[in-house]
Amino acid sequence: MLPVRACVLALALSLIVSLPAAGQSVPGSGAVTVIRAGTLIDGRSQAARRDQVIVVRGNRIESVGDAASTKIPEGANVIDLSRATVLPGLIDSHTHIFLQGEDPAEGGYDAQLLMQGLAFRAARATVAARRALVQGFTTIRDVETEGAGYGDVGIKQAIEKGYIPGPRMFVVTRAISTTGGYNLEGYAPEVEVPKGAQIVDGPVEARKAAREQLDHGADWIKVYMTHRSWLDKDGNLFSQPTLTLEEIRAIVDEAHGWGKKVACHAYNGVGLHRALDGGCDSIEHGLELDDRAIAQMVKQGTWLCPTMSVYYDHWSPADTPAGKRDRKRVELHGPSLRKAVRAGVKIAFGTDVGGFSWNEPIAKEFARMVEFGMTPMAAIQSATSKGAEMLGMSGEIGVVAPGAYADIIAVPGDPLKNVADLETVQFVMKDGKVFETGSK
């Protein structure tokens, strides 16, 4: 549902412009659309600019300039966002369209793998992809299908071919962990249950899994470097490491050979250090980055994708081991991000949405990033130009500048003053096509 102020702006917009109907493309591949931006945060510059005009031809941005000096091309379709803040389409670098914020009351994670067929899960993933786009996320890196095989490749293809709406997708397919290193677990040892990730043991199997996944369309490889976590007798967070250094090295070597990168789920401790020693390209979560890890990340140019907000949900009761762990994770995570920001670690915005419901605002993560040491502009750039850089798409996405894809959004208010304004995206253009956000 649109909040009141968004409704007011939407009404104002409807009086001024006639937008193309939902999902329709601007007619003709070379058609020209002009966007008047009251304020433009271009994703790259350190300051916003007032009264800009963005000229879009086909699916690319042709020019960006001051309204006073820009001539509107004849016959252009003009979209008036002069009362809004215009930004590049956002990038969430850690999503799970095949997870639905599983409610423990409905069987939780396990029920999705044991009870739900792939067609059902793909249908829900289709809805999740649309939810990303509606919320202004025009690109996602979706970091594993949780037992749904290569389903992400199929959803990505359906989006690219125009059958369903959704963001640009970078997919990892199945992800990789070791025996004892991923769900489902806790069943009788005699019972064969599916696993949410591809299980490998030894560098040969690890390399083979990476090859299979790359062969079937993985854009990135996702690896679990830690799995279970608990508090030790001194109250410290302890995380079980999974892959050995030899195993992660085999995967990174293979992926890099294909010109692809490796994202490593790692909380802290031995698994985190193996990830860095093994040459991982991004650390996912990084709940407790020690000084050595931070120094190594700066030196190696490793990205941190923190995913703060997911850890604030669904805590177990406070007096249980799991409940104590849940609270400890949050206690460590904020200071860990703060240290990383201060040290100059490269940060990419990521949320783990799917770990929480797709009906919650993805952009709630921005407020957490600001709470723990990032400026609003730095947080926005982590979801625009910085995310693009991590994905090897600098200048193509995550920026409103000539030559980039026309992935453009607008929000009411000023997200530099209040980053929560990014939760009320009301205009979305992806690849030069206006996506109607009104029907959520």
Interface residues with Zn ion (CB under 5 A)? 352
- Nearest distance, CB of residue 387 and Zn ion, angstroms: 16
- Nearest distance, CB of residue 154 and Zn ion, angstroms: 20
Relative to beta strand 168-171, strand 198-200 is: unpaired
Angstrom distance (rounded) from CA 35 to CA 18: 12
Name which of 70 and 240 has its Cβ closer to Zn ion. 240
Angstrom distance (rounded) from CA 156 to CA 209: 21
Angstrom distance (rounded) from CA 259 to CA 221: 11
- Nearest distance, CB of residue 112 and Zn ion, angstroms: 14
Residue of this chain nearest to Zn ion (CB atom): 352
Name which of 32 and 287 has its Cβ closer to Zn ion. 287
Q: How many residues appear in the chain?
A: 440
The tokens describing 248, both together, are: 């992660």
The tokens describing 430, both together, are: 């992806």
Name which of 285 and 433 has its Cβ closer to Zn ion. 285
Angstrom distance (rounded) from CA 432 to CA 288: 41
- Nearest distance, CB of residue 293 and Zn ion, angstroms: 19
- Helices 269-277 + 245-257 axis angle, to 10: 40
Name which of 219 and 352 has its Cβ closer to Zn ion. 352
Q: Which of 246, 208, 240 is nearest to 224 (CA)?
A: 240
Name which of 182 and 372 has its Cβ closer to Zn ion. 182
Name which of 124 and 430 has its Cβ closer to Zn ion. 124
- Nearest distance, CB of residue 355 and Zn ion, angstroms: 6
Name which of 288 and 407 has its Cβ closer to Zn ion. 288
Query: Is the Cα dihedral 229, 231, 236, 241 positive or negative?
Result: negative
**Cβ pair 177, 225 in contact under 8 A:** no
- Nearest distance, CB of residue 354 and Zn ion, angstroms: 7
Name which of 42 and 352 has its Cβ closer to Zn ion. 352
Name which of 195 and 207 has its Cβ closer to Zn ion. 195
Q: What is the DSSP string of 385-427?
A: HHHHHHTT-BTTBS--STTSB--EEEESS-TTT-GGGGG---E
Point out which residues pair with 177 in neighbouring strands.
Answer: 199
- For residue 184, whether the previous peptide bond is cis, meaning omega lies within 30 degrees of 0, is yes
| CA distances to 42, 399, 400 from 45, in Å | 6, 9, 10
Provide the residue type at 418 as one letter. N
Point out which residues pair with 230 in neighbouring strands.
Answer: 238
Angstrom distance (rounded) from CA 51 to CA 84: 10
Angstrom distance (rounded) from CA 325 to CA 201: 28
- Nearest distance, CB of residue 94 and Zn ion, angstroms: 6
- Nearest distance, CB of residue 59 and Zn ion, angstroms: 30
Name which of 352 and 431 has its Cβ closer to Zn ion. 352
- Nearest distance, CB of residue 99 and Zn ion, angstroms: 8
Angstrom distance (rounded) from CA 207 to CA 254: 6
- Nearest distance, CB of residue 210 and Zn ion, angstroms: 19
